[in-house]
Amino acid sequence: MKTTFIILSALVAVEHIYFLVLEMFYWTKPKGMKAFGQSKEQAENSKVLAANQGLYNGFLAAGLIWGIVADKSDVMVYFLICVVIAGIYGSYSTKMIKLFYVQAIPALLALGVWLLS
C-alpha cells in the first residue's frame, strides 16, 4: 500500500508540474488556450494571474516531491489535502466540474490508499 500511495502522490505531483507549465508558459499559446477554453483576448488579459496560479501549482508539486523524497507521509497528506481543496474551490468558482475530476480525484485516490494502509 505504501508503494501505491507514493506512486499516486508522484502522479499528482507530475500533474501539478504540468499545470505549472501550462499556466506559466503556455497560457497564451494554442495548447494553453484550448486546455482552459479561452480566447486569445481572455488569455492575454489574464496571463499575469495565470502565471501566479501556475507558481502555486508548482509549490503543491514541490511539497509532494519533498514528502516523497524525505519519506514523510504526513507531508504528502498535507499537500494532497491542499490539492483536494484547490480542486474543489477551482471547480466551484469556475463552474467547471472537469477541474474537480482532473485535480481533486487523483489526490483523493492517493488519500484513500493512505487511509487504508
Write out the three cell numbers for 37.
477554453
Across the range 16-31, mean pLDDT stands at 96
In terms of pTM, does the model score above 0.85? yes
Give mean pLDDT, residues 55-67: 97
Q: Which three cell numbers stand for residue 3?
A: 508503494
Residue 94 confidence (pLDDT): 87
State the average pLDDT over residues 71-88. 97
Q: How many residues does the chain have?
A: 117
CA distance 21 to 11: 15
